[in-house]
A and B are shown apart, each in its own frame.
Chain A
Amino acid sequence: MSSVLSCLAAIVLGCPILTLLILGFCGLIQRPLPERLVDRLTKFHVAMGLVATLGILGIMIGTNHPMEVLDLGNFVEIGQEHFHFHLEFIFDRLSIPMVLMTFVLVGVIGSFANIYLQGDAGYYRFFVCFSMFLVGLLFAFLAGTIETLFLGWELVGLSSALLIAYFHERRSPVENGLRVWGIYRVADAAFLMAALMMHHWTDQGEFLRMVNDQPWPQGTSHLDPLASLSVGLLLLIAAAGKSGLVPFSGWLPRAMEGPTPSSAVFYGALSIHLGAYLLLRLAPIFADSFVVRGLMFGLGALTAIYAAMTARVQTDIKSALAFSSVCQVGIIVMEIALGFWYLALVHIIGHAFLRSLQLLRAPTLLRDYRTLENAIGGRLANGQPAWIARMANHRQIQWYQFALERGYMDSMIDQALLKPFRKLFKAFERMENDWLRWLESAKGSGSMKKTIRQDWL
């Protein structure tokens, strides 16, 4: 990478990191910056990042290079054991459009949030999480190694959970934030295992080495079928958790508890596509694995059908938009499985912009409807598809109920996983308490009854 490109790449990554460090440090020492300064700092760094990315794109087009790599060396290295945590960033046909989209949307939504949250007690907190989110996204989109992608992935997850719980003096947003964090941890665990298995089998974590140094979307890997299936399944779980695919779709409407700007940027535009991006980035590696691609297609199709049904019956606009987003992500996953990778990329970008606009307009939906109806001089059509009309009445009710309850997905996870888990460990706790009581009274000490334990229990 030439020195000019290196400088530009450093600006792309450095500006958001600097914003996060400044905001985070001032917050930690209880000297938050004034709102106007926060706004200017965020805008300046986003603009710098955007210009630098455009510069890189211009140079790449001018020099006809499809890919530039910024190699920062090893973050950690144990040479003798072949363990290294390599920091490498790739600017290519996939990452540059995603980064440009990120800067544009973060800039626009940041400006919106500046007005929307002006004077709010959590204004500063919002922008700290917002800059953490931007750093995480850039790390994830530009990552040249699976470890760097994981690093960004985790930052996005944390900022996301904290922003869902933005209105933290109410219980509901907090409970939803925790729920989403729980699902993210499952996705993170799957991702981590996939990353380590890839390391284990290929002895490398760099995407480029995995595909024989070919720029995306060229190149294929030589993972054996079993390895490919195992890693592919784990990555599918990770992507499903992050992008709200079936069976994890239930968290998405819960995530709408956050302020509108965060809903727009996270669940309408950027964060929700992170799972799809992961699949897209690693698509060449699984290109030869028909089982993985088949599973991917099936998951995408199932998600799209489920979300399309559910979105139609939601009673609040943000939930309806959330499920519409999931539906589109399902379709994007199908496109990736079918090998239409450029189409999937275009779909992601188009969908992100459209959905951001819709979510930002959501608070004024009724006004927009009225304007629209006044313009056309009548009511907007509210019909139902012919195939539903042909359905028997009781079937219609059943499907309606199914969609309204969001496919009972949350309650299924609750019943199948969370409740038994809680019940099991509460039973262990009771057993421990009994055991402790028995140990304390084992030798018949008269002072036992005075112990804290008995008060406690």
Chain B
Amino acid sequence: MNAIPWHELVICIPLLGFFWIRAKASRDARSVCLAFAGITLALACGLYLGGLQSPAGSFEGWFGWNLIHIDQFSAPLIPLTALIYFVTLLATVGHKTQQFPFAGALVSESLTLGTLSTDTTWWMILLVSLSVVPMWFELKARGCSTRVYEIHQATFVGCLILGGCLSERSGAPALNLSVVLLTLAVLVRSGAFPFHLWRIDMFEKASFGSSILMVSPMLGAYLCMRLVLPTEPEWALHAISFLSLATSVYASGMALVQNDGRRFFCYLFLSHSSLVLVGLELATPIGLTAALCMWLSVGLALTSYGITLRCIEARVGRIDLNRYYGLYSHMPTMAAFFLLTGLASVGFPCTIGFIAGELLIESAMNFSPWIGWIVVLATALNGIAVMRAYFRIFTGTKHPTTIPMHSQFEERFAIVGLSLLILAGGLYPQPEVESSYQAAIHLLEDYHRAGDHGLKKEGSVIGPAAEASPAEASPVRRVH
């Protein structure tokens, strides 16, 4: 068993699936895609829960690089991402299969998992830069304008590469410029205000499923943790914090006035992912714990919410939130899950988001009461937006139709599975919080160490916080 490079397999299996679909020109791309995504998920879960280790030297022997690096921070993100891909693909049924790029989704999954499995700067930059390509192909294939997407992604990739180059040079001006560029890259990828337009554009033009897959793994936040945070001076942390806070409130306000269902979801996601960034930028043990918990809760709850919205869209067309649909009598289960997942995302009690929200507000309050206030405001607005969407879609009128609108087994399975995780995480949150806290502590330890080696700039707020970390054996699972 130990001779098998498990981590590399998790990354390569979706890629194999892509080649399979291409080589066989399989007509049933969905089944093939689902099989490969399922195997990837099973392996990722096995690695996370069972602690399967890759043998030493699997990649190092080939390239001389230590490409795979999974620590407590990225360990839960890998099965989470695999799960997001699997359930989204599973819920792609009916006429959605005609438009959905299954092969592209597998490439995207492979690149995303690869990004999450490494902390080697150039490898990460390469993978995350490539991860923007499948969506570009999809937009092209759909005959849509790709200009907005291109402008933003070119800025992102350009800043990332330039920032990466400059970070290797010595001298304060080059390093400062590198920080600015990397920060800009993170902000563009995360869709922070005012760099969020590509997300709206993408949600409107691409398939809903692909758009969910593009945003749900939150690679912008991951880049922030890996590339920006360890070497960031205080001013840059404050800049990201400020923009993330502004984005969270702005996006929650925008979600509240949207008439288009996809735009609504896009803003809702933006608001929550910005809250994750806020937690990360607080750079305190509890702030990082909150961010990591929120990462999981947003990933699960909003993916599930997006899938539900997508199922509804598949039945009634693009959702106009300016009118009432009254779908409750046709799909009561879907209504219940829509409400449950929406409320979970805004931190309703007994759901996975509750403790994450509490932790985030607590850490924000400890940092500054004003940040706490803004986070609470954003959460309150998101809560109203979620309920508004529920009422508009499921109530307000009788939906006259003779076509059966009930959900299909695959859709139900995907949503029920995620909902169970959401409830389980809400009713028994201690393991998740404990694991996130350990990850936070070790991240801060790493940064503290980086600071000791002169990799961190003066004035960083990360250093002192790390002093609280307990002296434990390193949980980093490094592949040599």
Residue contact B348 to A154, C-beta cutoff 8 Å: yes
Q: Please, which residues of chain B bring their CB within 8 A of the CB of A10? A: none
CA distance A75 to B426 in the complex (A): 10
Chain A min CB distance to B99 (Å): 14
Residue contact B285 to A168, C-beta cutoff 8 Å: no
Q: Which of A96-104, A186-194, A346-354, A394-402 contacts B (4 or more CB under 8 A)?
A: A186-194
Q: A147-B358, A436-B197 are in contact. Are A178 and B387 (CB under 8 A)?
A: yes
**In the complex, what residue of chain B is closest to A451 when comparing beta carbons?**
B145
Proximity string of chain B (272-311) to chain A, C-beta cutoff 8 Å, 1 when within and 0 when not: 0000000000000110010000000000000000000000
CA distance A200 to B380 in the complex (A): 21
Chain A min CB distance to B152 (Å): 9
Residue contact B349 to A155, C-beta cutoff 8 Å: yes
Q: Which of A78-86, A314-322, A404-412 contacts B (4 or more CB under 8 A)?
A: A78-86
CA distance A422 to B384 in the complex (A): 13
A361 part of interface (Cβ distance < 8 Å): no
A209 part of interface (Cβ distance < 8 Å): no
A43 part of interface (Cβ distance < 8 Å): no
Residue among A158, A170, A188, A196 making CB contact with B362, cutoff 8 Å:
A196
Residue contact A80 to B285, C-beta cutoff 8 Å: yes
B16 part of interface (Cβ distance < 8 Å): no
Chain A min CB distance to B228 (Å): 24
Interface residues of B in 364-410 (CB under 8 A from A): 365-366, 369, 372-373, 376-377, 379-381, 383-384, 387-388, 391, 394-398
Residue among B384, B387, B395, B468 making CB contact with A80, cutoff 8 Å:
B468
CA distance A443 to B348 in the complex (A): 46
Q: Which of B67-75, B108-116, B117-125, B328-336 contacts A (4 or more CB under 8 A)?
A: B328-336
Residue contact B433 to A161, C-beta cutoff 8 Å: no
Chain A min CB distance to B443 (Å): 15
CA distance A75 to B289 in the complex (A): 16
Chain B min CB distance to A173 (Å): 8
Q: Please, which residues of chain A bring their CB within 8 A of the CB of B372? A: 193, 196
Chain B min CB distance to A291 (Å): 19
Residue contact B145 to A168, C-beta cutoff 8 Å: no
Q: Please, which residues of chain B bring their CB within 8 A of the CB of A186? A: 380
Question: Which 6 residue pairs are nearest across A and B when measured between Cβ atoms?
Answer: A168-B395, A451-B145, A189-B380, A425-B257, A151-B349, A185-B380
**In the complex, what residue of chain A is closest to B364 when comparing beta carbons?**
A196
Residue contact A83 to B147, C-beta cutoff 8 Å: no
A426 part of interface (Cβ distance < 8 Å): yes
Q: Please, which residues of chain B bring their CB within 8 A of the CB of A432? A: 197, 200
Q: A169-B397, A425-B257 are in contact. Are A436 and B391 (CB under 8 A)?
A: no
Chain B min CB distance to A33 (Å): 15
Known: A30-B333, A428-B253. 10 other contacts (CB 8 A): A78-B433, A80-B437, A80-B468, A81-B286, A85-B355, A168-B326, A174-B324, A181-B387, A432-B197, A436-B200
Proximity string of chain A (424-436) to chain B, C-beta cutoff 8 Å, 1 when within and 0 when not: 1110110010011
Q: Please, which residues of chain B bring their CB within 8 A of the CB of A147? A: 358
**In the complex, what residue of chain A is closest to B337 when comparing beta carbons?**
A28
Residue contact A445 to B433, C-beta cutoff 8 Å: no
Residue contact A445 to B147, C-beta cutoff 8 Å: yes
Residue contact A440 to B257, C-beta cutoff 8 Å: no
Interface residues of A in 277-315 (CB under 8 A from B): none
CA distance A424 to B381 in the complex (A): 15
Chain A min CB distance to B112 (Å): 26
Residue contact B384 to A185, C-beta cutoff 8 Å: yes
Q: Please, which residues of chain B bring their CB within 8 A of the CB of A150? A: 349
Residue contact A80 to B470, C-beta cutoff 8 Å: yes
Residue among B147, B197, B379, B396 making CB contact with A448, cutoff 8 Å:
B147
Residue among A76, A81, A192, A425 making CB contact with B254, cutoff 8 Å:
A425
Q: Please, which residues of chain B bring their CB within 8 A of the CB of A453? A: 145, 201, 204
Residue contact A436 to B201, C-beta cutoff 8 Å: yes
Q: Please, which residues of chain B bring their CB within 8 A of the CB of A199? A: 362, 365
Residue contact B376 to A189, C-beta cutoff 8 Å: yes
Interface residues of A in 80-124 (CB under 8 A from B): 80-81, 83, 85, 121
Interface residues of A in 7-38 (CB under 8 A from B): 27-30
Residue contact B365 to A200, C-beta cutoff 8 Å: yes
CA distance A200 to B368 in the complex (A): 11
Q: Please, which residues of chain B bring their CB within 8 A of the CB of A451? A: 144-145, 205
B20 part of interface (Cβ distance < 8 Å): no
Residue contact B257 to A426, C-beta cutoff 8 Å: yes
Q: A425-B257, A447-B145 are in contact. Are A81 and B204 (CB under 8 A)?
A: no
Q: Please, which residues of chain A bring their CB within 8 A of the CB of B359? A: 83
Residue contact A196 to B365, C-beta cutoff 8 Å: yes
Q: Please, which residues of chain B bring their CB within 8 A of the CB of A445? A: 145, 147
Residue contact A75 to B429, C-beta cutoff 8 Å: yes
CA distance A168 to B256 in the complex (A): 21
Residue contact B343 to A158, C-beta cutoff 8 Å: yes
Select the residue from B337, B354, B388 with max chain A CB neighbours within 10 A: B354
CA distance A450 to B201 in the complex (A): 14
Chain A min CB distance to B265 (Å): 15
Chain A min CB distance to B357 (Å): 9
Q: How many residues of B contact A (CB 8 A)?
A: 66
Chain B min CB distance to A313 (Å): 30
CA distance A188 to B147 in the complex (A): 43
B59 part of interface (Cβ distance < 8 Å): no
Residue contact B147 to A452, C-beta cutoff 8 Å: no
CA distance A443 to B470 in the complex (A): 55
Q: A422-B257, A428-B254 are in contact. Are A171 and B396 (CB under 8 A)?
A: yes
A49 part of interface (Cβ distance < 8 Å): no
Residue contact A196 to B395, C-beta cutoff 8 Å: no
CA distance A193 to B416 in the complex (A): 33
Please name 12 pairs of A and B residues whose Cβ atoms are closer than 8 Å in the assembled complex, sorted by A.
Answer: A77-B430, A151-B350, A161-B387, A169-B397, A170-B396, A178-B387, A424-B253, A429-B258, A439-B197, A448-B147, A451-B145, A452-B204
B424 part of interface (Cβ distance < 8 Å): no
CA distance A169 to B330 in the complex (A): 12
CA distance A81 to B381 in the complex (A): 29
Q: Please, which residues of chain B bring their CB within 8 A of the CB of A30? A: 332-333
CA distance A182 to B377 in the complex (A): 12
Q: Please, which residues of chain B bring their CB within 8 A of the CB of A155? A: 349
Residue among B257, B376, B397 making CB contact with A429, cutoff 8 Å:
B257
B23 part of interface (Cβ distance < 8 Å): no
A276 part of interface (Cβ distance < 8 Å): no
Q: Please, which residues of chain A bring their CB within 8 A of the CB of B468? A: 80-81
Proximity string of chain B (124-161) to chain A, C-beta cutoff 8 Å, 1 when within and 0 when not: 00000000000000000001110110010000000000
Residue among A29, A154, A200, A422 making CB contact with B349, cutoff 8 Å:
A154
B422 part of interface (Cβ distance < 8 Å): no
CA distance A29 to B337 in the complex (A): 11
Chain A min CB distance to B109 (Å): 26
Chain A min CB distance to B408 (Å): 14
A329 part of interface (Cβ distance < 8 Å): no
Q: Please, which residues of chain B bring their CB within 8 A of the CB of A27? A: 332, 336
CA distance A76 to B363 in the complex (A): 15
Residue contact B328 to A168, C-beta cutoff 8 Å: yes
Chain B min CB distance to A211 (Å): 22
**In the complex, what residue of chain A is closest to B470 when comparing beta carbons?**
A80
Q: Please, which residues of chain A bring their CB within 8 A of the CB of B48? A: none
**In the complex, what residue of chain A is closest to B293 when comparing beta carbons?**
A76
Q: Please, which residues of chain B bring their CB within 8 A of the CB of A192? A: 361, 376
CA distance A199 to B369 in the complex (A): 12
A177 part of interface (Cβ distance < 8 Å): yes
A197 part of interface (Cβ distance < 8 Å): yes
A456 part of interface (Cβ distance < 8 Å): yes
A421 part of interface (Cβ distance < 8 Å): yes
CA distance A169 to B458 in the complex (A): 61
Q: Please, which residues of chain A bring their CB within 8 A of the CB of B354? A: 151
Q: Please, which residues of chain B bring their CB within 8 A of the CB of A161? A: 387
Q: Please, which residues of chain A bring their CB within 8 A of the CB of B148? A: 436, 439-440
Q: A154-B349, A452-B144, A453-B204 are in contact. Are A197 and B365 (CB under 8 A)?
A: yes
